[in-house]
């Protein structure tokens, strides 16, 4: 499939659904599974599995892309620690990519505005609004920690609302506005998109971040006690 | 055999290179004390965050300090538990990735076993007189998270004689220092204050718990709270109603300036040390230990070392102050003896925040 050092490994453990991808100039191979709290137990086993399936070894990996959040704090730490260990161990660069960017990425050709969201636990989500301004996609403002029932609030018509729905809530909550709602199967984040975003930065020659990247921690508002 | 040891179970990020379970080639410890000071104790979420940014620079420095390259490492030892989940998983996942990246064995180490093996380590490579501890020995592990009295018959043959049923000894020091406004971490703070105080003016309870080797320190905290109650004053500053801090900051109580904090600290320390010494001495006698070894952060307490030395009829051994704190060298040291017995992990290894100390003989089918 590829020459040594030419494949990007992508790791996304932002939420209960873990996913990984191997991405090169000519191939994409993806794997996702419900890891829940078992990310530490399953992640490296699945990376080894996906390499074997593609008849690749660690020698083929030339860079690592990893989601930095927003997402579940411990999940993000599992992905980042693994990516950093592999990057440092193999002396290959690591790139941290925003989980909301990964979520919004595949819809940028079909929408005018996008609200991407990531489950943050206890029925809450962190969202980010993207808009196309003079041909370029930009995110407006900081990510918002909000209740899932308010996911469409202020989003406006013709906004694609996209993200993994928290397992604890009713997906029908989304079906009440004039927003554009992609199919359920299209709402999930795909590791191939993460790999592609990481690939661009790798090919642009951006410097390795393995020593410095950290998760993006988005808190809800804490009530005063 | 060169082992890279990785330890992130609480608030120190540490990595070390140890040769043959004995000689420390490097031992990098990045402490987070500055980070947790204003909270009056370790905030688990903040500890985990610091580990994520510190882990790679610490490992990199450990290799450079030891003067070894990545391909000279023969195995990786990592703390599996007990400890804080969010902290443990940073070290664990980094260690697993390195084990895969370098194609070397991964050795899971119990943090308490690591503390024990800090007594098998030497920082001096040329010290030919160095002798490892003799079996059977009794080990007192005292730290912020643990108070355990362990009988060690041989490598991998541990018997926990007793442990704390509530607070750890180090936790009692932390809580005591917080109540007395002496600072964080509590062990050194109480020891400093005690040095200036007079003992014997305040009485604190000792929980002997009959013939048991178990410990209890929660009653001591209650007694201390009662003691300082009469010096309490209304806070002069208005309480903040809304905080933008994601974590609650510790607001220390306010006392009248004539509270004899140093005297109280001295008797408080005496009460903790008294119980630790008497139980350890009795355990050493009952089990005919050839020596007693100390381990853990509270082992740095000089009153504890002095009292034990005087009380024991067998030699006392305590690690250097640096090896008393959580560190990667002790994990690499313990990892060496585990590896000798063929103990290695596969990539599905998980962290184990509540992991107890058990003998490996107990794991074998009978
Ligand atoms: Zn410890």
Nearest CA-CA distance, residue B346 and chain A, Å: 9
B194, two tokens: 């005690």
Task: Please give the distance, rounded to the nearest whole angstrom, from the Cα atom of residue A170 to the centre of ligand 1.
Answer: 44
Peptide bond into B280 cis (omega under 30): no
B32 confidence band (pLDDT: 50, 70, 90):
confident
Task: Please give the distance, rounded to the nearest whole angstrom, from the Cα atom of residue B150 to the centre of ligand 1.
Answer: 15
Peptide bond into B186 cis (omega under 30): no
**Mean pLDDT within B329-343:** 97
B164 confidence band (pLDDT: 50, 70, 90):
very high
Nearest Cβ partner of A81 from B93, B248, B348?
A: B93
Size of interface A-B (CB pairs under 8 A): 104
**Considering only CB atoms, which chain A residues are within 8 Å of B100?**
44, 47-48, 58, 86, 89
Nearest Cβ partner of A40 from B92, B241, B242?
A: B92
Quick count: other Cβ atoms within 10 Å of Cβ A134?
A: 5
Q: Is B4 helix (H, G, I), strand (E, B) or coil?
A: strand
**Chosen from B101, B242, B248, B349 to mutate, greatest number of chain A CBs within 10 A:** B101
| Bridge partner list, B30 | B13
pLDDT in tens, B138-154: 999 999 889 999 999 99
**Mean pLDDT within B190-197:** 94
Closest CA to B114 of B325, B308, B363, B346: B325
> Is B348:A41 a contact under the CB 8 Å cutoff?
yes
Task: Please give the distance, rounded to the nearest whole angstrom, from the Cα atom of residue A54 to the centre of ligand 1.
Answer: 42
As a whole-number percent, the residues of chain B with pLDDT over 70 amount to 96
Closest CA to A202 of A106, A105, A94, A84: A94
Comparing B72 with A220, the larger pLDDT belongs to B72
Helix (H) or strand (E) holding B1: none
Peptide bond into A70 cis (omega under 30): yes
pLDDT in tens, B209-252: 999 999 999 999 999 999 999 898 877 666 555 566 677 787 77
Beta B147-154 vs B137-142: how paired, if at all? antiparallel
Quick count: other Cβ atoms within 10 Å of Cβ A6?
A: 14
B181, two tokens: 């406004």
Q: Quote the pLDDT of residue A219.
A: 81
Q: What does residue B33 show for φ and ψ, rounded to 5 degrees?
A: -50, -45
> Is B3:B17 a contact under the CB 8 Å cutoff?
yes
Q: Quote the pLDDT of residue A179.
A: 56
> Is A215:A69 a contact under the CB 8 Å cutoff?
yes
Could you give the CA distance from residue A138 to residue A194 in angstroms, rounded to a whole number?
A: 17
3-state per-residue secondary structure call for chain A: CCCCCCEEEEEECCCCEEEEEEECCCCEEEEEEECCCCHHHHHHHHHHHHHHHCCCCHHHEEEEEEEEECCCHHHHHHHHHHHHHHHHHHCCCEEEEEHHHHHHHHHCCCCCEEEEEEEEECCEEEEEEEEEECCEEEEEEEEEEEEHHHCCCCCCCCEEEEECCCCCCCHHHHCCCCCECCCHHHHCCCHHHHHHHHHHHHHCCCCCCCCCCCCCCCCCCCCCC
**Considering only CB atoms, which chain A residues are within 8 Å of B349?**
40-41
Q: Quote the pLDDT of residue B217.
A: 95
Nearest Cβ partner of B246 from A38, A40, A222?
A: A222
Comparing B275 with A150, the larger pLDDT belongs to B275
**pLDDT above 70 (res B265):** yes
Helix axis angle, A73-90 relative to A39-53, nearest 10°?
50
Closest CA to A66 of A169, A191, A211, A223: A191
Mean pLDDT of all residues in chain B? 92
Residues 6+ apart with CB under 8 A from B223: B204, B205
A170, two tokens: 């009713």
**Considering only CB atoms, which chain B residues are within 8 Å of A217?**
49
**Considering only CB atoms, which chain A residues are within 8 Å of B93?**
40, 43-44, 77-78, 81-82, 85
Nearest CA-CA distance, residue B5 and chain A, Å: 14
Quick count: other Cβ atoms within 10 Å of Cβ B251?
A: 11
Could you give the CA distance from residue B108 to residue B89 in angstroms, rounded to a whole number?
A: 12
**Considering only CB atoms, which chain A residues are within 8 Å of B91?**
81
- pLDDT in single tens digits along all 225 residues of chain A: 589 999 999 999 999 999 999 999 999 999 999 998 899 999 999 999 999 999 999 999 999 999 999 999 999 999 999 999 999 999 999 999 999 999 999 988 877 889 999 998 888 899 999 998 887 888 988 999 998 888 888 887 778 888 988 777 666 655 555 556 666 667 789 999 999 999 999 999 999 999 899 999 988 754 433
Closest residue in B to A41 (Cα) is B348
**pLDDT above 60 (res B197):** yes
Task: Please give the distance, rounded to the nearest whole angstrom, from the Cα atom of residue B267 to the centre of ligand 1.
Answer: 25
Closest CA to A159 of A104, A97, A102, A218: A104
Q: What is the pTM of this model?
A: 0.93
> ipTM beyond 0.90?
yes
Could you give the CA distance from residue A64 to residue A24 in angstroms, rounded to a whole number?
A: 12
Site of tokens 């180490």: B109
Q: Quote the pLDDT of residue A222.
A: 46
Task: Please give the distance, rounded to the nearest whole angstrom, from the Cα atom of residue B145 to the centre of ligand 1.
Answer: 7
């Amino acid at each position: 499939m590829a020459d040594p050092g030419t494949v990007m490994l992508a790791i996304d453990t932002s939420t209960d659904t873990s996913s990984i991808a191997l991405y090169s100039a000519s191939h994409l191979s993806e794997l996702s599974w419900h890891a829940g709290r078992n990310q530490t137990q399953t992640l490296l086993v699945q990376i080894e599995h996906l390499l074997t399936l593609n008849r690749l070894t660690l020698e083929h990996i030339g860079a690592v892309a990893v989601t930095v959040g927003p997402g579940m704090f411990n999940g993000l730490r599992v992905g980042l620690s693994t990516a950093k260990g592999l990057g440092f161990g193999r002396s290959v660069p690591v790139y941290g990519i925003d989980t909301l960017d990964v979520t919004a990425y595949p819809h940028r050709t079909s929408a005018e505005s996008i609200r991407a969201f990531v489950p943050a636990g206890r029925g809450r989500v962190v969202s980010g609004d993207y808009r196309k301004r003079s041909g370029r996609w930009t995110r407006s403002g900081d990510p918002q920690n909000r209740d899932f029932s308010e996911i469409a609030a202020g989003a406006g018509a013709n906004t694609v609302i996209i993200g993994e729905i928290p397992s604890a809530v009713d997906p029908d909550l989304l079906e009440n506005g004039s927003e554009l709602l992609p199919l359920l199967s299209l709402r999930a984040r795909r590791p191939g998109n993460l790999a592609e975003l990481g690939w661009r930065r790798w090919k642009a020659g951006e410097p390795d971040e393995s020593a410095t990247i950290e998760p993006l921690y988005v808190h809800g508002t804490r009530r005063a006690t | 055999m060169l082992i890279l040891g990785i330890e992130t179970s609480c608030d120190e990020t540490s990595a070390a290179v140890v040769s043959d379970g004995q000689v420390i080639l490097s031992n990098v410890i990045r402490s987070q004390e500055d980070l947790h000071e204003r909270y009056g104790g370790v905030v688990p979420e903040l500890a985990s965050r610091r580990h994520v940014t510190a882990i790679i620079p610490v490992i990199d420095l450990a290799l450079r300090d030891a003067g070894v390259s990545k391909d000279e490492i023969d195995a990786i030892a990592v703390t599996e538990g007990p400890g804080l989940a969010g902290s443990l998983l940073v070290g664990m996942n980094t260690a697993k990735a390195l084990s895969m990246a370098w194609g070397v064995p991964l050795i899971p180490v119990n943090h308490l076993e690591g503390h024990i093996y800090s007594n098998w380590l030497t920082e001096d490579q040329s010290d030919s007189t160095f002798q490892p501890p003799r079996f059977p020995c009794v080990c007192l592990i005292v730290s912020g998270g643990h108070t355990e009295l362990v009988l060690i018959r041989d490598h991998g043959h541990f018997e926990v004689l007793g442990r704390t049923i509530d607070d750890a000894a180090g936790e009692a020091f932390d809580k005591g220092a917080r109540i007395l406004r002496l600072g964080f971490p509590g062990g050194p703070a109480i020891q400093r204050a005690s040095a200036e105080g007079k003992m014997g003016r305040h009485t604190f309870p000792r929980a002997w718990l009959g013939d048991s080797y178990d410990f209890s320190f929660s009653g001591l905290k209650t007694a201390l709270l009662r003691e300082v109650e009469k010096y309490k004053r209304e806070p002069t500053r208005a309480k903040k109603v809304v905080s933008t801090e994601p974590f609650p900051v510790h607001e220390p109580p306010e006392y009248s300036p004539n509270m004899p904090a140093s005297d109280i600290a001295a008797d408080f320390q005496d009460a903790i040390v008294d119980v630790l010494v008497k139980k350890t001495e009795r355990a050493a006698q009952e089990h005919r230990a050839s020596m007693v070894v100390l381990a853990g952060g509270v082992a740095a307490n000089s009153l504890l070392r002095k009292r034990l030395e005087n009380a024991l009829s067998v030699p006392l051994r305590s690690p250097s102050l640096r090896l008393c704190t959580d560190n990667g060298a002790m994990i690499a040291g313990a990892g060496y003896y585990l590896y000798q017995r063929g103990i290695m992990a596969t990539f599905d290894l998980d962290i184990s925040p509540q992991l107890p100390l058990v003998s490996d003989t107990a794991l074998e089918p009978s």
